[in-house]
Amino acid sequence: MPQITVDYSAPLADAFDRKGFALALHTMVVETAAAKLEACKTRFRPTEDLVIGAEADGHALVHVAVALLPGRTEETKAALTERTLEVLRAHVKPGGGITLHASAEVRDLDASYTKFEE
């Protein structure tokens, strides 16, 4: 915890500093949501196909999903979502007339969540 998943348009690969984003995001999550730095885990999933409205070209997407153990207030979750987008803005620069659609969500992990480390 937190489990962070980032879906992004594959054409952003060179325009998205994923490692820098994850490192900055982890620090911000610790400051905002009282998480432990060593518990922050981020995975990136490139997606090849994207259609926005009636257009298949000229757009890129980044969606960040942050899943936390329950117990944070709605205010904390809202602040975390807003700050996630601020950090993202600093690390993705699509250029070339591409419209970037960026979004984030914060949710509680299900009660069934468990983990182990070896």
What CATH number did the domain enclosing 92 receive?
Answer: 3.30.429.10
Eight-class DSSP state of 12? G
- Whether residue 47 lies inside any domain: the answer is yes
- DSSP per position, 82-115: HHHHHHHHHHB---TTPEEEEEEEEEEPPTT---
**d(Cα 103, Cα 33) in Å, to the nearest integer?**
19
Range of the domain at 11: 3-108
Give residue 55's pLDDT. 83
In a domain, 14, yes or no: yes
Give me 107's structure tokens: 């949710």
Would residue 15 count as lying in a domain?
yes
Percent of the chain topping pLDDT 70: 100
Q: Is residue 50 part of a domain?
A: yes
Would you state the structure tokens that stand for residue 7, as one six-digit string?
Answer: 């879906």
Q: What percent of the chain shows pLDDT beyond 90?
A: 86
pLDDT at 1: 79
Mean pLDDT of the chain: 95
* Mean pLDDT across 33-40: 95
Q: Is the pLDDT of residue 35 over 90?
A: yes
* Residue 118: inside a domain: no
- Say yes or no to pLDDT of 95 above 90: no
How many structural domains are present in the chain?
Answer: 1
Give the relative orientation of helices 74-91 and 18-33 as an angle to the nearest 10 degrees: 160
User: 115 lies in a domain?
Assistant: no
Asked if residue 36 is part of any domain, the answer here is yes
In a domain, 74, yes or no: yes
> Using an 8 Å Cβ cutoff, are 58 and 98 in contact?
yes
Please tell me the number of Cα atoms within 13 Å of 78 on its side-chain side: 3
pLDDT in tens, 39-61: 999 999 999 999 999 988 899 99
Task: Give mean pLDDT, residues 59-72.
Answer: 96
CB neighbour burial string for 36-56, b if at least 16 within 10 angstroms, e if fewer: eeeebebebeeeeebeeeeee
